[in-house]
Copies of this chain bind each other. A is one copy, B any other.
Amino acid sequence: MKPVRVGICGLGTVGGGTFNVLTRNADEIARRAGRPLVIEQVAHRSINPACDLTGIRTTKDVFEVATNPDIDVVVELIGGYDVARELVMMAIENGKHVVTANKALIAVHGNEIFKAAHEKGVIVAFEAAVAGGIPVIKSLREGLGANRISWVAGIINGTGNYILTHMRDEGRAFEDVLAEAQALGYAEADPTFDVEGIDAAHKLTILASIAYGVPLQFEKAYTEGISRVTAEDVEQADNLGYIIKHLGISKRTGDGLELRVHPTLIPKERLLASVHGVKNAIAVMGDAVGPTLYYGAGAGDEPTASAVVADLLDVARDISTEHRYRTPYLAFCGVTDDCDELPIMPMEDITTAYYLRLLAVDRPGVLARVATILSEEGISIEALIQKEATEGELVPIILLTHRTLEKHMNEAIRRIESLADIAGSVTRIRVESLDEQD
């Protein structure tokens, strides 16, 4: 069989990993693809000492790969938005399949890219863009293809999970663990994308698009980071039987789709609660299959390369079938027009349970006033912990509520904060049971 000719753009961490996996496991990959995958050209700016490029055609110009007539598939691993977008659009324009690990590009420009790919009859594959090596895109798109998906909830940012894991295990503060993660290379010098949830929101946007067949709508995702989670909250959650994880959550409701990234209390007995350190995991609930979970490395050279090469296997199949394989790649709203109208819900319309932590002046009646406000807003209390305090000091009050509308909680918090007995602002962390009834 004629080989599939691969052009790799970018030879950094993931590019180098992809080069090495394709080279090392060439025989195994050829058997699974039904034909060899050969690296025809590599575009890179600096040397990756992990890669032996002997005999490989190289260039510094990524656009040379996109126009190279000897290349069937362009692997975009340069990252960023502008050049990556131009590269991908040019590759499509030249009739080449595209494989990318670029979550930001897909989440923000995916609709335009898929439309162009659809018109040109090529695949744009992006398994590596979500949760590194975990084959969750393929599982959602094909393995769970029988199901109406009711929710997806995932630990999809390794840096955030590393920080929360160490905060819990060692009782340390956020800033302290972040500094350590930066020193170890698990967090960037500017950690905003990871700790403020932007990276997770990119990935969640992509997961939701595949799970529900809706267009990518990153701009409508609610994004809240972990930088305000305190060691105190981690400990209180633990006392209540919960663990705090930074989750991307998307639920199908009667009113549309919830699409939100935020710190979340989940019961300790959920499998997601046992996912520690930099690892990722995605829980998916389908109406037929029930709860499922996919776990593995969410980043790193060869884990991500594993997903890039899995996409190349799909591309090889599409080439082998004269471009008739790609059906599952086209089942998007925005590309095809046959899916449900599922608007992304504004955050104030979502329903969830809440953990609240407030600091009260230790005066008779303060608890009653807080409880009255919650009751008046239609919010019922599931658990309450009031710590003992010495006379005159501020007392922390911890509350767990039952499920309620976010807008009711917003109003309740506004009213509680205006009480004379309450000091500062109320800490609010959402709580998800992630059980089969959700």
Contact = CB atoms under 8 A, between A and B. Distances in A.
Contacts of A297: 289-292
Interface string A133-167: 11100110111111110000000000000000000
A294 interface: yes
A288 to B, nearest CB: 4
Interface in A312-329: 312-314, 317, 320-322, 324-325, 327-328
Contacts of A321: 321-322, 324-325
B147 A306 contact: yes
Given A25-B148, A139-B135, A142-B135, A289 B271 contact: no
Interface in A276-299: 276, 281, 286-297
Given A288-B302, A295-B293, A310-B146, A32 B328 contact: yes
Given A146-B21, A146-B29, A310-B142, A305 B288 contact: yes
A10 interface: no
Contacts of A34: 327-328, 330-331
Contacts of A310: 142-146
A309 interface: yes
B325 A303 contact: no
A31 B324 CA distance: 15
Copies in the complex: 2
Nearest to A291: B296
A209 to B, nearest CB: 14
A275 interface: yes
Interface in A112-145: 127, 132-135, 138-139, 141-145
A320 B327 contact: yes
Given A138-B143, A146-B307, A322-B324, 15 more contacts: A21-B146, A21-B288, A25-B287, A28-B213, A32-B142, A34-B330, A134-B289, A135-B143, A145-B309, A271-B295, A287-B302, A288-B302, A292-B295, A292-B297, A317-B328
28 contacts: A25-B146, A29-B145, A31-B213, A31-B331, A31-B339, A32-B328, A34-B328, A127-B143, A132-B289, A133-B290, A138-B139, A142-B314, A145-B313, A146-B312, A269-B276, A274-B274, A287-B302, A288-B302, A288-B303, A288-B306, A290-B297, A291-B297, A320-B324, A320-B327, A321-B321, A321-B322, A321-B324, A325-B325
Interface of A: 17, 21-22, 24-25, 28-29, 31-34, 127, 132-135, 138-139, 141-148, 213, 269, 271, 274-276, 281, 286-297, 300, 302-303, 305-310, 312-314, 317, 320-322, 324-325, 327-328, 330-331, 336, 338-339
